[in-house]
Amino acid sequence: MYFGADFYPEHWTYPYAGTPEEPEARWERDAQLMFAAGINVVRMGEFSWGICERQEGQYDFGWLRRAMDVMAKAGIKVILGTPTAAPPIWLARQHPEILPMDERGLVKHEGTRRAYCMNSDIYWDYCKRIVRAMATALGDHPQLIAWQIDNGIGGHDTESAFNEESRRDWIAWLQAKYETIDRLNDLLGLRFWSQVVSSWDEVPMPMSAPTVHNPALVTDWRRFSSDTCVAFIRMQADLLHELTPNVPVTGNLRAPARKFDHFDMAAVLDFIAVDSNPTVKTRSAENACDLDMLRSLKKTDFRTPDREEGFWVIEQKAAQVNWQDVNSLVRPGVVRLFTYQMISRGANGILYFFWHQPRIGSEKFYGGVLTHDGRNQGRVYREICQIGEEIKLLAPILKGTKVVAEACILYSHDNEWTIDQPMQPNSYFNPRQHLQLFYNALHDRNIPVDFARPTEDLSQYKLVIAPSLHLLAGGEADLLKLYVQNGGTLVGTFNTGLVDEYGIAPDTGYPHDLTDLFGMEVMEFDPLPPGEENHLNFKGAFPTSHLHPAKIWCDLIEPKDCQVLATYAKDFYAGQPAMTMNTFGLGTAIYIGTMSHQHFYYDLIVWLRQMCNLFPLLKVPDTVEVSMRQKDETKIYFVLNHQDINVRLQFYKPVHDSLTGATLQGNYDLAPHGVLVLDERYEKSQA
Ligand code: GAL
């Protein structure tokens, strides 16, 4: 396993460290302290363009090579970031046209990072030059194990720019998609508000306007911007593959919050690396959901430095952040706990952000493994040393293991970009909250989950949950039917199939293309304001005696071939179905026409678990998170206490904790933020 930190040697030369005679003297000390902490990899270089090329064409990568040499002496490998996230000031001065325009047509100026338009030919040219120069200068360094391309692509709302070059590429993108102006007008529905165009250059970019743009055009703009981000990364990936064919490439992604298609991005990277910023207050299931989403972006064609299948966390917060109103210290044991959460969900490389809290710049109050003073007495350093020791112990046990899930949740960026737009049936509907209700229920019952887009092969999953696929392409609907036809169990919900891939509402009933699958039709839907509720009466196969509310949205369902599982309790649609189940081919399609509270989803998962033969990994109290990595018969269970009080576990048979070597039996109090890593001996002793 790789265990490391993000290191900025450029912050640690004279006058911030070292001496006038030996300006880089501090680096040796850093490498010694890293080695002592068990660190075997650092990432560096991703913001170094202005230092590596102070003036156009005058390259100096010598200092980075020296820093890599220092790492070599301590046996530490290096991931180099291509420096294109922070173009140098001289470049923006020389070519102001690379600076991005916002939706009001105002220029975002130089003097920070990410100030560039990804449609700029000039910017592409300069990027190719610096990446080529860097790969030529450093690509043969024996410590180099991977490239990180750019940094935080799409961060700070930079997924789109509204420059003239963006307009040029936007038009070309539309031409490739629609071929003729007539098709464009028809499929985008530009007759509405008479926005029809007669030539390609009339098609607007969705810039600031008196009111909303055509939603289909906005969704296309998102798709175009996403393709632009992916093309920018692919351009660098292709170049690096050509220059250093043996070195894999990655990029630091965030949990799918940025507005590009993360699945498309994953396809151009050899392996996924992510930033993780859980704070002290993060609900563990939300962070687990982010990690499962990120892991699921790439399910095949891995090319990792250690040839393992899995993802890396290339920036894990080591201490307090600087972007909250109040940036409290991270409590002892919490960084260790989150580290194990990431490993338990498939991470094979963890790097802490950052090694040494900088004395300069805008992140000087962002905590590091070392504090400003750079000594090795700090609390965080000691905690990282402890984790480093443990990782050495666990690495051989975890080799070749990965997360295997039999349940899957679907999501698509196209859908999210459509639902996110204004003038929806209910602006209080939050798709992530909805998805999270299902996820929490699976997570809290310790059932592993993957995520997938609706176009993926779902046949390996016993249960597929598809929350609110508002935009559903015809092909996606067919694949869902195929999955159920072949024996799968699908759960669909309200706000599904309201528009097709062109944003056009169906004239064949909701949910578009799926009324046969669910054996019913949604005739109308009644969005509810916050605080207003209907209630559900259950009958038939779904055994719940609790009172569950219906909130946010109530579909008025006309059953055809389906069974009715629940009806509404009041209002003019009292007694009408709210939840149904239909047999389709060899499988089952369940439809939930409303949103409820968390307990409903717990009951639902208990029922579905039995129906689909899904087994919880371990029986532990709800507040304890469990996940598992496996390889053939080897199973490693991670048991995490996210609370700051002891939690009592009961082991009816002896279990073996790989971290301490202890055998545990009977009552065991897992300490606040405590972690157990139980290896396969647990399984065998259970047998
Ligand atoms: C990351 C970025 C880092 C740092 C960090 C702060 O997205 O890559 O450079 O700024 O955020 O949270």
* Ligand 1 atom at shortest distance from the alpha carbon of 317: 12
Q: What are the backbone angles phi and psi of residue 18, rounded to the nearest 5°? A: 65, -165
Task: Give the distance (Å) from ligand 1 centre to CA of residue 321.
Answer: 10
Task: Give the distance (Å) from ligand 1 centre to CA of residue 316.
Answer: 10
Q: Of the residues 44, 353, 360, which should be mutated to test ligand 1's pocket, given the most ligand atoms within 8 Å of the CB?
A: 353
pTM: 0.96
Task: Give the distance (Å) from ligand 1 centre to CA of residue 152.
Answer: 7
- Give me the residues paired with residue 499 across strands: 471
Which of 278-282, 325-329, 367-371, 400-404 is least confident? 278-282
* Ligand 1 atom at shortest distance from the alpha carbon of 254: 7
- Do 2-178+206-398 and 407-612 share a fold? no
Instruction: Name the residue with the closest Cα to ligand 1, atom 12.
Output: 321
Task: Give the distance (Å) from ligand 1 centre to CA of residue 262.
Answer: 18
Tokens of 424: 């929806």
Instruction: Name the residue with the closest Cα to ligand 1, atom 8.
Output: 152
Instruction: Name the residue with the closest Cα to ligand 1, atom 2.
Output: 152
Whether 633 shows a pLDDT value over 90: the answer reads no
Instruction: Name the residue with the closest Cα to ligand 1, atom 10.
Output: 363
Q: Averaged over 638-653, what is the pLDDT? A: 93
In which band, very low, low, confident or very high, does the pLDDT at 617 lie, cut at 50, 70 and 90?
Answer: confident
- Selection from 228, 208, 341, 215 nearest residue 274 by Cα: 341
Task: Give the distance (Å) from ligand 1 centre to CA of residue 268.
Answer: 22
Task: Give the distance (Å) from ligand 1 centre to CA of residue 15.
Answer: 24
Q: Of the residues 11, 44, 84, 275, which should be mutated to test ligand 1's pocket, given the most ligand atoms within 8 Å of the CB?
A: 275
Report which DSSP code applies to 204.
P
pLDDT score recorded for residue 544: 82
pLDDT score recorded for residue 687: 36
Task: Give the distance (Å) from ligand 1 centre to CA of residue 356.
Answer: 14
pLDDT digits (tens, 9 = 90+) for 501-546: 999 999 999 999 999 999 999 999 999 999 999 999 998 888 887 8
254-289 per-residue burial string, b: 16 or more CB within 10 A, e: under 16: bbbebbbbbbbbbebbbbbbbbbbbbeebebbbbbb
- Per the CB < 8 A criterion, the answer to whether 296 and 264 are in contact is no
CA angle, residues 315, 302, 70, in degrees to nearest 5: 45
Sign of CA dihedral 623, 629, 632, 635: negative
- Give me the residues paired with residue 625 across strands: 640
Whether 347 shows a pLDDT value over 80: the answer reads yes
pLDDT digits (tens, 9 = 90+) for 239-289: 999 999 999 999 999 988 899 999 999 999 999 999 998 765 668 899 999
Task: Give the distance (Å) from ligand 1 centre to CA of residue 276.
Answer: 10
Q: Averaged over 454-475, what is the pLDDT? A: 97
Task: Give the distance (Å) from ligand 1 centre to CA of residue 374.
Answer: 21
Whole-angstrom distance, CA of residue 274 vs CA of residue 238: 21
Residues 6 or more apart whose CB falls under 8 angstroms from that of 532 comprise: 551
* Ligand 1 atom at shortest distance from the alpha carbon of 321: 12
For domain 624-686, give the CATH number.
2.60.40.1180
pLDDT score recorded for residue 261: 97
pLDDT digits (tens, 9 = 90+) for 546-586: 889 999 999 999 999 999 999 999 999 999 999 999 999 99
Whether 18 shows a pLDDT value over 70: the answer reads yes
Location of structure tokens 């859908």: 415
Q: Is 130 helix (H, G, I), strand (E, B) or coil?
A: helix
Report which DSSP code applies to 419.
H
The Cβ of residue 674 has, within 10 Å, a number of other Cβ atoms equal to 22
Whole-angstrom distance, CA of residue 435 vs CA of residue 465: 9
Tokens of 501: 């891939």
Task: Give the distance (Å) from ligand 1 centre to CA of residue 303.
Answer: 25
Location of structure tokens 């209630």: 535
Task: Give the distance (Å) from ligand 1 centre to CA of residue 258.
Answer: 14
- Per the CB < 8 A criterion, the answer to whether 42 and 34 are in contact is yes
Whole-angstrom distance, CA of residue 504 vs CA of residue 188: 8
* Ligand 1 atom at shortest distance from the alpha carbon of 155: 7
pLDDT digits (tens, 9 = 90+) for 363-389: 999 999 999 999 998 999 999 999 999
Task: Give the distance (Å) from ligand 1 centre to CA of residue 173.
Answer: 31
The string of DSSP letters for 618-672 reads ----TTEEEEEEEETTEEEEEEEE-SSS-EEEEEEEEEEBTTT--EEEEEEEEPT
Q: Averaged over 475-480, what is the pLDDT? A: 96
Report which DSSP code applies to 192.
G
Tokens of 5: 């930190």
- Per the CB < 8 A criterion, the answer to whether 184 and 238 are in contact is no
Tokens of 217: 């055009």
Which residues lie with the beta carbon below 6 Å from any ligand 1 atom? 151-152, 155, 252, 275, 277, 315, 321, 363
Whether 685 shows a pLDDT value over 60: the answer reads no
The Cβ of residue 657 has, within 10 Å, a number of other Cβ atoms equal to 18
Q: Is 687 helix (H, G, I), strand (E, B) or coil?
A: coil
* Ligand 1 atom at shortest distance from the alpha carbon of 323: 12
Sign of CA dihedral 526, 529, 534, 535: positive
- Per the CB < 8 A criterion, the answer to whether 465 and 454 are in contact is no
Name the packing angle between helices 121-138 and 62-73 (round to 10°): 40
Tokens of 299: 């399910």
- Give me the residues paired with residue 42 across strands: 5, 78
Residue 78's H or E segment, with its range, is strand 77-81
CA angle, residues 255, 257, 262, in degrees to nearest 5: 70
pLDDT score recorded for residue 281: 62
Whole-angstrom distance, CA of residue 153 vs CA of residue 159: 8
What is each CA distance from 35 to 515, 577, 596, in whole angstroms?
A: 61, 63, 51
Q: Does 3.50.50.60 match the CATH number of domain 2-178+206-398?
A: no
What would you report as the CA-atom Rg of the chain, rounded to the nearest whole angstrom?
27
Q: Averaged over 91-101, what is the pLDDT? A: 98
User: Where are the alpha helices (H) located in 61-211, listed in sequence order?
Assistant: 62-73, 89-94, 121-138, 164-178, 181-187
Whether 686 shows a pLDDT value over 70: the answer reads no
In which band, very low, low, confident or very high, does the pLDDT at 474 lie, cut at 50, 70 and 90?
Answer: confident
Whole-angstrom distance, CA of residue 194 vs CA of residue 208: 18
Whole-angstrom distance, CA of residue 539 vs CA of residue 543: 7
Q: Of the residues 315, 316, 365, which should be mutated to test ligand 1's pocket, given the most ligand atoms within 8 Å of the CB?
A: 315
CA angle, residues 174, 180, 185, in degrees to nearest 5: 75
Domain ranges in the chain are 2-178+206-398, 407-612, 624-686
- Selection from 245, 281, 360, 488 nearest residue 15 by Cα: 360
What class does CATH assign to 407-612? alpha beta
Residue 313's H or E segment, with its range, is strand 311-317
Task: Give the distance (Å) from ligand 1 centre to CA of residue 252.
Answer: 9
Task: Give the distance (Å) from ligand 1 centre to CA of residue 646.
Answer: 33
Q: What is the mean pLDDT of the chain?
A: 95
pLDDT score recorded for residue 517: 98
